[in-house]
Amino acid sequence: MLSVRRRGKNGIYYIRGSVALGDKRIDVKEFSSGTSDADAASHLMTEYETKLRHQLMFGPSAIVAQGSIADAFASYLSKAKPPCPADILRIGKLNAQIGDLSLQEPKQAWEQFRLANLTGHEPAGQDRYRAVFQAAVNVYRELHDLPPLRIKAIPFDNERVRFLTKEDRDRLIASYTPHVQPIITMLAFHGPRVQTALQMAWGVNGVDMEREAIRLNHTKNAVIQSVPMHARVRQALLPMWEKRGRPMKGHVFLNRFGEPYQDTRLPPISGGNPLKSQHKTACKRAGIDDFTIHDWRHHWASHCVMAGIDLITIMYMGGWKSLRMVQRYASVGVDHMREAINKLE
């Protein structure tokens, strides 16, 4: 049986003891009820004892069923390594919509959220919500010694590999407005994600013109990688750096109003990719079809493979966390070699 006893000068009641059912038993280490009111402490003890008896009768799954999705998110956010800012925003939206639902049927809760909020989103965007929801639920289940839950992934083309010829590359870069061209040059020759590029700063922790190096902060995967600066990128950035007085801090890339680009990975999120309209216009001018702004990253990785750079090096330079993510580019190298060998007469 559980019991309460009063402790300390504030008279706080503490609960301890054990709960048994047949040959099963749960020992409870002493914990604070948080109150000096005897009736409140006794009520809390009774509720807790009922909860433990329920667990002894039906197993750990009974505790999970009593929890809410909000409890799962709380467990997930309290991990030693917190999720990225964008996932925290997704959790906020999920929690506001379905946080009060029971963890007894998480798949149904997810489907309810998806149908109500995500039908207009791209499949990849929907799957990011699914992934963070599944991760939160599984953290909670792991705390209660239950096997992980798998929610069916949203199918999308994650194996897309699109790249341009060098001639098309240069024609497309030249088709952007002048203040965007240096950004695109960075994407084409270093392959960062768009927001990684837009939030770069001058100096040793970003674009170091003196050492001709770039420190890429791949926030999505918490990877920071310093790489030598490509000559084309230095050529594009040097006039900007000189014109601003060789700064050692501050944003490298500014919008047409001379202000830093909003980091859409942080709250509040609005407007989507700030280069989307400029990219669409540039592609139209250059006569390039089926090439998204993110495809510059595929372009960079593909040309790295064709230049003979090994996949491990590409993985580190591009900020991918696993080799599996870059293996899709291996076939580009095979096709390139086939094209080269066919040139022999």
Please give the radius of gyration of the chain, using alpha carbons only, rounded to the nearest integer: 27
Say which residue, 63 or 67, is predicted with more confidence: 67
Q: Does residue 337 carry a pLDDT above 70?
A: no
Q: List, in sequence order, every residue forming a beta bridge with 13; answer none if it has no partner.
A: 6
Measured CA to CA in angstroms, residue 169 lies from 11, 58, 250, 287 at distances of 74, 63, 29, 11
In this prediction, residue 222 carries a pLDDT of 47
Backbone angles phi, psi at 184, to 5 degrees: -65, -35
63 pLDDT tier (thresholds 50, 70, 90)? low
Q: Does residue 153 carry a pLDDT above 70?
A: yes
- Burial code of 208-234, b = ≥16 C-beta within 10 A, e = fewer? bbeeeebbbbbbbeeeeeebebbeebb
Percent of the chain, pLDDT > 70? 87
pTM for the complete prediction? Answer: 0.62
Dist CA 304 CA 310 (whole Å) = 8
List, for residues 238-292, the tens digit of each pLDDT value: 999 999 999 999 999 999 999 999 887 766 555 568 898 999 999 999 999 999 9
